[in-house]
Structure 1
Amino acid sequence: MAGRSPWLQSDQPVGPRPPSARAVARWILTHPDALAEGDRLQLKAVLANCPEVAALAEHVRSFAHMLTHLQGDQLPTWIEAATSTELPSLRRFAQHLERDLDAVTAGLTQPWNSGVVEGHVNRIKMLKRQIFGRAGFALLRKRVLLS
């Protein structure tokens, strides 16, 4: 085939399609016990082939453990480890946590949070957006009280 482009002639077999960044992020953010066996094997292959992703996964998992077990006292150690990595995004995240260290430590230590209040605020804003420009405060008040 003299007329074919050398780019179209390939002796390389086509391998399996690599996972998307979204899939890898989901695997890293999911608790290891909750991953399906196929996902666990694919994540293991990705971590074996990319040391940067493996390092990021280790930091994410340690932060998640600190968050779920309310171990905010370990935050300065985690920040120090995260800022010493070669991962710029993780380093920036750790530096931003350090700006308000007392509040973040309290959030990772205290058993209570404002999640319920934030949920109600989000619901009220959604209702407000739905009737924007169509009705006044009286209807908004009625919808908030009845929903």
Structure 2
Amino acid sequence: MEQRDRLIEIIGEMQRDLLPSLIRAHSEDDLRLVHAVLLRVIAHQPVSTVGEIAEALGRSRSRTSRLIDQLVNRGLVARGEDGADRRIRRVRLTEEGRALLRRIDGMRVDAQLRLWEHLDDDERATVFRAMELLAAAAKRMKQEAEE
């Protein structure tokens, strides 16, 4: 098996093993994956238009608009007029949306930390160094995408 294929397999195994605890923790929020991703996109682009969000998601404007409507109905995002151009509708997170993302982040960190507890000191040092390398690679990847 090639290294790339084994890496894909390992990542899949980790996700499958950690997912049940995240799903149980999310059950009170009843949040679909597409909604969670949408909230992340809006959080990353704090005052966005539907078109900007649709482009970031790789979805149509109409589908994105329907998804945003669902989040508006739940009180997680709000739509409002642009101060400079009233024809433009801006989308932003509400405080409830920000609180939900903080809870999701906390659950993910907790799951990772519980996993960390199952490593011995040598394994932790190895994984820590690997995480530093991945973080540096992610930064380089982001910088290249922004150029």
Highest CA radius of gyration, 1 or 2?
1
Larger RCO (CA within 8 A; separation ≥ 6): 2
**Same fold per TM (> 0.5)?**
no
TM-score (norm 2): 0.26
